[in-house]
Each structure stands twice: as C-alpha cells, then as structure tokens.
Amino acid sequence: MNSVRQRQRPHAAIPSRQPADLMRLYTVCVFDEDLVVPWVELLDARDDQEAVALARSIQPSKRREIWDRHRLVAELPQR
C-alpha cells in the first residue's frame, strides 16, 4: 500500500498590513464650463477625509467631484 505524502513548501514571511497603511485610489472629476466632459485626476489617499483635503488643491476655481470607485465621496464647489 502506497501512502501519499504531501510536500510542504516553505512560505516566505508576509508582513501583516494594518488597514491604516493601505492607500485607496480616488478619482477627482474637474468640471469646466468650456468642456463637454470633465477631466480626471487620480490621487492616493488613506481615507475620504484625506482625499477631500488633497482634492481641494486641484483646480480650486472649478467644480470638482471626488469618487471612490462608484461611490460619490464629496462635491467641491468652485471658489
């Protein structure tokens, strides 16, 4: 009777990442009245609050929307 032994492969130590260390990719849509469609800027942020803070510096004279995939995070009016 042959017994089947499974080989165990050594696993590299994978450091655990805390959720606070993960960055999310946000989309900032910038609306210009001279254009038919908005232009898009991508930014990395840890959370919604950081994304809004970063997006405030992108084209402040234009209306902006911040999106996390399909979820609207915030709308920023033009200044």
Give the pLDDT score at 46.
96
pTM beyond 0.75: no
Give the pLDDT score at 30.
97
* CB of 51 closer than 8 Å to CB of 71: no
* CB of 63 closer than 8 Å to CB of 76: yes
- Looking at the predicted structure, is the pLDDT value of residue 5 above 90? no
Encode pLDDT of 49-64 as tens digits: 999 999 999 999 999 9
- Looking at the predicted structure, is the pLDDT value of residue 10 above 80? no
Encode pLDDT of 13-41 as tens digits: 555 555 656 899 999 999 999 999 999 99
